[in-house]
Structure 1
Amino acid sequence: MHPQPIPNQEVRLPELQEKQVKLFIKREDAIHPYISGNKYRKLKYNLIEAKNKGFDTLLTFGGAYSNHIAATAYAGKEARLKTVGVIRGEELSSSWRENPTLKQAHENGMQFHFVSREAYRNKTHPNFLTELEENFGRFYLLPEGGTNTLAVKGCEEILTENDAQFDFICCCVGTGGTLSGLINSAKSYQTVLGFPALKGDFLKEDILKFARNDNWKLISDYHFGGYAKINKDLIDFMNQFKLKTGIPLDPIYTGKMLFGIINLIQKDFFKPGSQILAIHSGGLQGIQGMNLELKRKNLPKLDI
């Protein structure tokens, strides 16, 4: 996997000028056409480890529109490793071909194992893993969302010396691996803000397992009701943001983060003269699937 150079793109909006705040977006979504954003970073050292230890199969977990599933399938194909996706939701076993994420993952060689939501909750239990090994043979295990020590190591490479000018580093949070990497590599004078896409305070403990510094805080007001929850306000914001800046956002993570950042700017959270860097963690492949859901709910579509 060879990444493209990652630009920091300045966002020019009237409210930023009015509040005398500068906002840039690190376009990690441009890192690779299929293994984009933080998924590239999380997989980088795990793929090296899998090959060094002689594994020929990667096994991981995810839901219907999982960016991690899509990225692992393509990364495995590129690295000539077989991939197995344990997918949450037995009902998908008969309809996965209509799901753009799973269809693409299958085309990239991934084999699926569909399990009930109840069984999925036990995915880290030794008996469950033993059963998977009996079915699929020896495999290199990637956790759901891809977060482990090697993933955090990869995410520590997101920031470069050119990013030392920023006062705030902003990142959306799923499992906490990307945020942990940023916390570890940020300068001591920089504040790292995490915007969780899920409800609940459990993330703090997960982040503390990997984060070595205390220059961070979670902003938990912009999850829109929980993971993969979305409403018309968020859709309108994302479509307007793309129209005004040319930058597409995903509805699960980056859309919520940018909504939060702009809202905080409007509320004077950042003092005049602040420079903010927001990390675009990719995830754009999920828009197609989300638009199918929005159509079913009679909500406006997201611009692709």
Structure 2
Amino acid sequence: MNQLVTINFPHSISVSIKREDLIHPFVSGNKFRKLKYNLLQAKSENQKTLLTFGGAYSNHIAAVAYAGMEQGFQTIGVIRGDELRGKIQENPTLAFAQNCGMQFEFVTRESYRLKSESLFIEKWNQKYGSFYLVPEGGTNDLAVKGCQEILTNEDGVFDYVCCAVGTGGTISGIINSILPHQKVLGFPALKGDFLNEEIRNFAQNENWELINAYHFGGYGKVNSELVAFINQFYSQTKIPLDPIYTGKMVFGVIDLIERNYFPENSKILLIHTGGLQGVQGMNLKLKSKQLPTIDIYD
């Protein structure tokens, strides 16, 4: 079950956080939503194996591994970075996925860029036989369908709905389910404007905007300011944030409030999309650089 937490700000602005991270202990937030109909489709096709793609600390890899185990599928993860071979136990995400039964194929970054090409996919068909392909990040039409279920009738009271953006599937589902008076704000975790086109492939409404000022340098980039914000936010609210997605989005929304971006009396809904499993891996990277770590657990 998720829950709604509301925080009041000056100028009668209220911010509510929808805790999608609480709907499943291991397949949380948008990953649960994205996989829901994909797993049903895989079963309808009588597939026994799921194959997907991801990086070293991918929330998607962890979610597919656990969901596959829970639903009786074999799982294969094609992992970006052949240097990770032999270092699975040093990586919390990969160790978790392996414990869930996932098999790994480690490929170079150059090869990984070919993941959408038919010859690349055929290579794994020849090795593993038939499988159900789940795209990187889980985004496809069925994922968007699942994400359209994030908002409920009760969420119609909000003026703005905000979420982090990775591959564009989650925000597309939210855009498709908003009411006419609502606007969706997306906070990309990646640099660049290419996501607009990706979202337009799935989104049916026009009342949305991407805010590109809060990626902190790009995907996976974190600095001491963001870490301090996440720690302070947890201290004040007891709501844990991840540094790759939701932490940047919440930082951005609060900064925009302080800059008077939102009209007086605005009601803002933030979607907590999960991703907390990646905090452990990020802390390892921060420690290696002798930087402050994220402390979101009592």
- Please report the TM-score for the alignment, with normalisation by the length of structure 1: 0.96
Match of 1:54 among 46, 50, 64: 46
2:181 aligned partner, one-letter code = Y
Q: Distance in 2 between matches of 1:231 and 1:20?
A: 31
Q: In the alignment, which residue of structure 2 is the partner of 1:261?
A: 253
Q: Distance in 2 between matches of 1:271 and 1:129?
A: 49
1:10 aligned partner, one-letter code = T
Q: In the alignment, which residue of structure 2 is the partner of 1:285?
A: 277
Counting only pairs closer than 5 Å after superposition, residues 62-77 of structure 1 correspond to structure 2 as 62-77=54-69
Q: SS of the residue aligned with 1:77?
A: helix
2:135 aligned partner, one-letter code = P
Q: In the alignment, which residue of structure 1 is the partner of 2:219?
A: 227
Q: SS of the residue aligned with 1:94?
A: coil
- Identity %, equivalent residues: 60
1:203 and 2:195 equivalent? yes
Contact 1:57 1:138 in 2 (8 A): yes
Q: Distance in 2 between matches of 1:139 and 1:41?
A: 21
Q: Distance in 2 between matches of 1:8 and 1:135?
A: 46
Q: Distance in 2 between matches of 1:98 and 1:42?
A: 28
Q: Distance in 1 between matches of 2:119 and 2:137?
A: 21
Q: SS of the residue aligned with 1:178?
A: helix
Q: SS of the residue aligned with 1:32?
A: coil
Runs of 4+ in 1 over 4 A off after TM superposition: none
The Cα of 1:19 is off from its aligned counterpart by 3.0
1:180 and 2:172 equivalent? yes
Q: SS of the residue aligned with 1:19?
A: coil
Q: Distance in 1 between matches of 2:217 and 2:108?
A: 23
Contact 1:19 1:265 in 2 (8 A): no
Q: Over residues 166-198 of structure 1, what are the superposed CA-to-partner deviations in whole Å (9 max), with x where a residue is unaligned?
A: 000001000000000000000011000000000
Q: In the alignment, which residue of structure 2 is the partner of 1:241?
A: 233
Q: Over residues 6-44 of structure 1, what are the superposed CA-to-partner deviations in whole Å (9 max), with x where a residue is unaligned?
A: 2111125xxx1x232100000000010000000000000
Counting only pairs closer than 5 Å after superposition, residues 6-155 of structure 1 correspond to structure 2 as 6-12=2-8, 16=9, 18-155=10-147
Q: Distance in 2 between matches of 1:145 and 1:295?
A: 27
Q: Distance in 2 between matches of 1:107 and 1:185?
A: 36
The Cα of 1:248 is off from its aligned counterpart by 0.3
Contact 1:28 1:37 in 2 (8 A): yes
Q: In the alignment, which residue of structure 1 is the partner of 2:154?
A: 162
In structure 1, stretches of 5+ residues that fail to align are none
1:205 aligned partner, one-letter code = E
Q: Over residues 41-79 of structure 1, what are the superposed CA-to-partner deviations in whole Å (9 max), with x where a residue is unaligned?
A: 000000000000010000000000000000000000111
How many pairs were matched up? Answer: 296
The Cα of 1:160 is off from its aligned counterpart by 0.2
The Cα of 1:94 is off from its aligned counterpart by 1.3
Contact 1:170 1:276 in 2 (8 A): yes
The Cα of 1:111 is off from its aligned counterpart by 0.4
Q: Over residues 230-281 of structure 1, what are the superposed CA-to-partner deviations in whole Å (9 max), with x where a residue is unaligned?
A: 0000000000000001100000000000000000000000111000000000
Contact 1:19 1:268 in 2 (8 A): no
Q: Distance in 2 between matches of 1:265 and 1:76?
A: 41
Match of 1:194 among 186, 189, 214: 186
Q: Distance in 1 between matches of 2:11 and 2:103?
A: 50
Q: SS of the residue aligned with 1:58?
A: strand
Q: Over residues 146-166 of structure 1, what are the superposed CA-to-partner deviations in whole Å (9 max), with x where a residue is unaligned?
A: 000000000000000010000
The Cα of 1:290 is off from its aligned counterpart by 0.2
Q: SS of the residue aligned with 2:77?
A: strand
The Cα of 1:297 is off from its aligned counterpart by 1.1
In structure 2, stretches of 5+ residues that fail to align are none
- Please report the TM-score for the alignment, with normalisation by the length of structure 2: 0.98
1:276 and 2:268 equivalent? yes
